[in-house]
Amino acid sequence: MLVVTNTIKVKEGHAEAIAERFGVANGVQDMPGFVRMEVWHGSAKEGVEELKICTVWDNEEAFKGWTSSDSFRQSHRGAGGNEAILGASLDKYELLISRTSGNE
């Protein structure tokens, strides 16, 4: 299992509008190996808000399939031109341990 986080820093007051883009069906949900996506909103600090887009994949190959797809290119078209976005960083994590409520 692979989790990919895209941390996006935005000008205060713009996070919810940018987050709405991730609620629109853009093809990721149909990709082989896609498990789920979550969008997290952090508290504003010094005029900057943070969005953390977390996607969960069966494996690295499934994620690479998404990033090389036409759906990926179409869903990211024009994203760099948004003046409210101050920066972004991408990180990947491999799942080592998972616990749920009721696990002993």
Q: What is the mean pLDDT of residues 4-27?
A: 92
Q: What is the pLDDT of residue 92?
A: 97
> Which residues, other chains included, contact 34 with Cβ-Cβ below 8 Å and sequence gap of 6+?
28, 55, 56, 57, 58, 62, 66
Cα separation, 81 vs 79, whole angstroms:
5
pLDDT tens-digit map of 30-75 = 999 999 999 999 989 999 999 999 999 999 999 999 999 998 888 8
Q: What is the mean pLDDT of residues 73-85?
A: 77
Residue 79 pLDDT level (bands cut at 50, 70, 90): low
Higher pLDDT, 25 or 17: 17
pLDDT score of 77 more than 80: no
Structural domains of the chain, ranges and CATH numbers in brackets: 2-93 (3.30.70.100)
Q: What is the pLDDT of residue 75?
A: 82
